[in-house]
Amino acid sequence: MTKNVWITGASSGIGKALAIKFASEGWHVAASARRENLLQELNKDNPNIYSFPLDVTDGSLCKKVFNNIVEKFQTIDICVFCTGIHDPQSEKKISAEKVREIMEVNFFGTLNCIMAVNNYFREKQNGHISIVSSVAGYRGFPAASGYCASKAALTSLAESLYFDFKRYNVRVSLISPGFIKTPMTDKNKFPMPMIKSAEYAAEKIFIGLTKQNVFEIHFPKTLTMIMKLLKIIPNWLFFLIVGRGIKKIRL
């Protein structure tokens, strides 16, 4: 029996690579993003990928699109909420407007999608919701006040939802990638250690979602373990290490 997955942020980067990966494994993929033309291109190259354009900041539209997906596929097994924006150059100066924009897309956009599937999965009492955060959510880093805050919020949200949905036999998981080469990270002007391809990320995520039973899927392990260490060290040591790093790369 063919399984079905809904992926947001599917027009580029990790979301696109993940949509292609699931489709190549025989899954039916509902692909959502704002750029409908890119979704249509995905559909042309991959008959298992179906286009469902969506602006996640519109909560009512999220519900409407998900209803259309269920009508098309009858059932949804996994939802992967992958939408995210970041502009490191504009974040060099703290801006309430920019932080609000990032939070609106990254956090509240994801929350809108979760609310769209909430009743469906609770009534179905089966399924899987996965939230794409980032290792940037482990700590606050320079020139990323909005991005780090949005990812930290997503990480906490996933942890809270884990308990809420477990009562209904619905799995909630968190995806925390390190540096992945995407149009978004192409904007970074600083060295990105252990950067991996979007295809690498898609492979790791697919395995974690379909073949493992873990809460957090994080990769590459060498980098994520270093980041997890930064998460637990004393603040004074964290600020010292990152501060010296900033001076070296002149961020």
User: pLDDT for 97-106, tens place per residue?
Assistant: 999 999 999 9
Residue 188 has pLDDT above 80, yes or no: no
CA distance 229 to 128: 29
Say what the pLDDT of residue 244 is. 85
Token pair listed for 122 = 């609770």
Return the CATH number at 191.
3.40.50.720
Query: Structurally, how many domains does the chain consist of?
Result: 1
Instruction: Using CB atoms within 10 Å of the CB of residue 47, give its burial: 0 to 12 exposed, 13 to 18 middle, 19+ buried.
Output: exposed
Say what the pLDDT of residue 190 is. 74
CA 235 to each of CA 108, 230, 243: distance values in angstroms, whole numbers, following the listed order: 29, 9, 12
Residue pair 37/60 in contact (Cβ under 8 Å)? The answer is: no
> What confidence tens digit (pLDDT) does each residue in 24-63 have?
999 999 999 999 999 999 989 899 999 999 999 999 999 9
Confidence of residue 91 (pLDDT cuts 50, 70, 90): low
CA distance 4 to 73: 7
Q: What is the mean pLDDT of residues 219-238?
A: 96
Residue ranges with strand state E in the chain? 4-8, 28-32, 49-51, 78-81, 128-132, 171-177, 180-181, 196-197, 216-219
Q: What is the mean pLDDT of residues 199-215?
A: 97
User: Which domain, by its residues, includes 193?
Assistant: 4-249
Q: What is the mean pLDDT of residues 179-188?
A: 81
